Every structure is written in C-alpha cells, then in structure tokens.
Amino acid sequence: MYINSIKSLFHERLISHYPVQEINSFFHLLTENYLNKSRLELALEPDLKLDQKDADLFLDALSRLEEEYPIQYIMGHTEFMGRRFKVNKNVLIPRPETEELILWVLNSNSERTELDILDIGTGSGCISISLSKQLSDARVDAMDISEEALRIAAENAKENKAGVNFIQSDILTLKSLSRSYDIIVSNPPYVRKSEKSEMKNNVLKYEPDLALFVEDEDPLIFYRKIGELAFIALNKSGYLFFEINQFLAEDLVKLIKAIGFDSVELKKDIFGSDRMIRALKK
C-alpha cells in the first residue's frame, strides 16, 4: 500500500472527528513513530510503498483514532519537557500546562541546592522525573495510589536515567508524610464530574477517571489534605506548588491561606486560565 493512499484514507475517515491540521499531525507523528521518517523525508518519497506489516500498523492506528483513542496511547509514548515518557491508559497524558508548572518550580528555586522534593499523584512520573533531571543534586520522592501508574513511572525514570524514589500510597488516608521536604508539588484530580459535558471524548472516554475527577460536593478534597500534610512536612521557606482547576482558583487561595501558608500566588497558563498556585511556608 502506498503511503499517499494511507494519508488519503486518514483524511477520509477522520474528517468527521478532527480538524484537517490535527489529522495531518497524527499522520506525521505516526510516520515518525512507525517508519522513523520525518515530514520532510516523507515529502521526498511520495511513492513510498509500505509492506503489509507497516500498512497494518497505520490501519490499526486509524481505527483507534476513529474511536477517538488518544494518539499518545496508540504510540505508547509522548514528549514532556523535551524528554520521552511512556504512557498507557493507567496514566494521564502529560499536558503542556504541567510543563509550565515545572518551569515555575525551577525558577522559584534557582538559587537553592540539594532540595528535598515530593510529587504527590505522580502518574507517568512526568513532574518528578523532570525535576530530578533538571535539579541534579535534588532528592526526589514521588507518590501515587495506583500500582499500574507507578510501574510506568518507574520505567520512565529508568529510561530517562532519573533517580526518583517511588512510593505507593493513598494520600487521602495518610496521617502524615514520613519526612520533611523543601518542595511539595502536585497535580491532583481536579475536574468536577459536572464539567464532564465540556470535555472532549479522547479525554473523557480513555484517560483514567482516577487521575481526573472529583465529586462536585468537595472538589478541593485533595488540595485540603495535601495542603495540611505539606504545611507540617515542609521545611522553613519551603514551597507548595499545585496545578489547579481554573474555576476554583479563588476558593483555593482562601483554603491554602487558611491552612497557614504565606504569599499564596496564582499563575495563569499559556491559554490565560488560572492554572497553578504557589504557597510559601514561612
């Protein structure tokens, strides 16, 4: 089968699901992934013929994309902070907003060394591994309730040669953190179930509920618990960082201040939404 026929087939079958640009981007991600050929290389070989095995890979991917299955799960990996992370249905696909959170953590601590860091709800390990790589003298712990997620996170740490200590634990039932830290960071579940109607199928149908959703009656449950544990476990001048739900920013600032933190600051993401918060323990 010719590569151009596959490309036409992608457009034909996906146009009712995605914009043209996104279909092109899927197609080129897959040519890189399956054929190791960039967009440019491909343009120079318009008559490239695929053997049955390669053609089947594209056709299988096409069927999954028609079901709105995320491209990152199809390929089994994604990029985050310039590094490759394995992903599967047990972990949330790392988002660009979370890269912004990492940059804020790094900028806030550029003069400090030998930091003790904890990431709560690490998922694929994207936050803990990126921090461990960027801060080579840091000591990084990462926690998650899901054993399946921790398995992927450990593989990601190994592939990226990052020294992260993974801990399986349910933060909501934890009485205290076992050591003290300079930085505690978390991107916990924060989407209210009532917000489901505004979400895209690829997220809603295939990404893990455990990593995404909270009850409408108590949407800040993770922030309250993590905030309380962090206020005790953080060293003097330690920082707490959260990724947050843009619609709950004001309530969160109030909550974090009520726990006792100082200089609670909000920060917007590239899309202009209140997306992260930083709090100082004096």
User: Shortest Cβ distance from residue 1 to ligand GLN (Å)?
Assistant: 35
Would you say 46 or 96 has its CB closer to ligand GLN?
96
User: Shortest Cβ distance from residue 212 to ligand GLN (Å)?
Assistant: 5
SS in 3 state form for 166-180?
EEECCHHHCCCCCCC
Would you say 31 or 146 has its CB closer to ligand GLN?
146
Integer Cα distance of 195 and 247 in angstroms: 10
Would you say 116 or 123 has its CB closer to ligand GLN?
123
Question: Of 126, 161, 130, which is closest to residue 144 (Cα–Cα)?
Answer: 126
The answer to whether 244 and 187 are in contact (CB under 8 A) is no
User: Shortest Cβ distance from residue 243 to ligand GLN (Å)?
Assistant: 6
Would you say 65 or 126 has its CB closer to ligand GLN?
126
User: Shortest Cβ distance from residue 203 to ligand GLN (Å)?
Assistant: 5
SS in 3 state form for 187-200?
CCCCEEHHHHHHCC
User: Shortest Cβ distance from residue 208 to ligand GLN (Å)?
Assistant: 10
What is the per-residue burial (b if ≥16 Cβ within 10 Å, else e) of 61-97?
A: bbeebeebbbbbbbbebbebbebebbbbebbbbbbeb
The answer to whether 119 and 185 are in contact (CB under 8 A) is yes
Would you say 6 or 125 has its CB closer to ligand GLN?
125
* Interaction site with ligand GLN (CB under 6 A): 95, 187-191, 203, 212, 243
Integer Cα distance of 229 and 175 in angstroms: 8
Would you say 29 or 199 has its CB closer to ligand GLN?
199
The answer to whether 91 and 121 are in contact (CB under 8 A) is no
User: Shortest Cβ distance from residue 197 to ligand GLN (Å)?
Assistant: 13
The answer to whether 42 and 28 are in contact (CB under 8 A) is yes
